Amino acid sequence: MRINTPINHSDTFQLGHHSVKRLGYGAMQLAGPGVFGPPEDHAAALAVLKEVIASGVNHIDTADFYGPHITNRIIREALAPYPDDLVIVTKISARRGEDGSWIPAFSRDELIQAVHDNLRNLGLDVLDVVNLRSMLNIHHPAEGSIEAPLTVLADLQRKGLVRHIGLSNVTATQVEEGRRICEIVCVQNHYNLAQRADDELIATLARQGIAYVPFFPLGGFTPLQSSALSAVAARRKATPMQVALAWLLRRSPNILLIPGTSSVPHLRENLQSAALALSASELGELDGIAFTAVAGSPR
């Protein structure tokens, strides 16, 4: 069943082999609380994924350390055999402690194991796109060479287990280092209306034809809140989350969105943002949020 959504008429951008809709879906919210353990409502998680595909989304972001293993297994249960045009992007270099903690897993053996875990749990022979997530600092990009782990991933690509490679939680210097080792098709970093550290990197990647995929586009664990955002939303009879996504779609043509949700109503709401064309003056108002945030008060 196909659902008529505005994303069926929205722009696309090349991601590896495929041209994908600019509005995709992030699957992290499908695991249990704290991205750990099974979801509280398994059937609801399956329903979200089925609606994702029925709505025309053809880009899903995941990781085998969500759950761990849970999110990938739910994706497989809901969607395999996968639609031909679906691009599933996963990421490697972390594992979960028994208490749910996030632990770097950056060694050669751990990276190889992670690729095989993703293949098995997603039920695939080859992974479309694998992001190497830098864990030099777990929380934000930190300078340092990524050559050793990226070379491991490039070897797995040569062996045919991985089609395309991306980077996550990285600096501009690391992207350049990465591009000397293998082709980089996407960069996934923390970015949204209030978190604008990558403005310059996004422009550079756009010139290079590389997709930029912001994580936490809605603020992640701390949803975006701002009086300017609420004011624009009220005027446009939209929700603040829709405006936050519409702003990202206008920000740069190489931005691909992967808002996360465990709720079908939220999914529907988020996909409608593709139809929300913001004016230049609204963009200006929204740009002001970042300056307030830099001053320490993202309201």
Ligand X SMILES: NC(=O)c1ccc[n+]([C@@H]2O[C@H](COP(=O)([O-])OP(=O)(O)OC[C@H]3O[C@@H](n4cnc5c(N)ncnc54)[C@H](OP(=O)(O)O)[C@@H]3O)[C@@H](O)[C@H]2O)c1
Residues of this chain that bind ligand X (CB under 6 A): 26-29, 61, 91, 133, 168-169, 188, 215-220, 223, 241, 258-263, 266, 269-270
Least distance from ligand X to the Cβ atom of residue 74, Å: 13
Nearer to ligand X, 225 or 284 (CB): 225
* Amino acid (one-letter) located at 42: H
Distance CA 131, CA 144 (A): 17
Backbone phi, then psi, for 93, in 5-degree steps?
115, 15
Query: Which residue minimizes CB distance to ligand X?
Result: 260
CA angle 243/296/292 to nearest 5° reads 45
List C-alpha distances in Å: 71 to 26, 148, 155. Answer: 10, 28, 26
List C-alpha distances in Å: 72 to 54, 79, 170, 238. Answer: 19, 10, 24, 32
Based on the residue annotation, tell me whether 66 is a catalytic residue of this protein: yes
Least distance from ligand X to the Cβ atom of residue 64, Å: 12
Nearer to ligand X, 5 or 270 (CB): 270
Nearer to ligand X, 169 or 171 (CB): 169
Least distance from ligand X to the Cβ atom of residue 62, Å: 6
14 and 209 Cβ atoms separated by less than 8 Å = yes
Nearer to ligand X, 97 or 160 (CB): 97
Q: Which candidate in 66, 82, 191, 212 is catalytic?
A: 66
Reduced to 3 states (helix: H, G, I; strand: E, B; else coil), residue 216 is coil
DSSP state of 257: B
* Amino acid (one-letter) located at 36: F
Strands laid side by side in the 25-26 sheet: 25-26, 59-61, 87-92, 127-133, 162-168, 184-188, 211-212
List C-alpha distances in Å: 264 to 101, 267, 298. Answer: 28, 5, 28
Q: 155: number of CA atoms within 13 Å, CB side?
A: 10
Nearer to ligand X, 52 or 159 (CB): 52
Distance CA 101, CA 98 (A): 7
Least distance from ligand X to the Cβ atom of residue 59, Å: 11
Least distance from ligand X to the Cβ atom of residue 26, Å: 2
Active site residues: 66
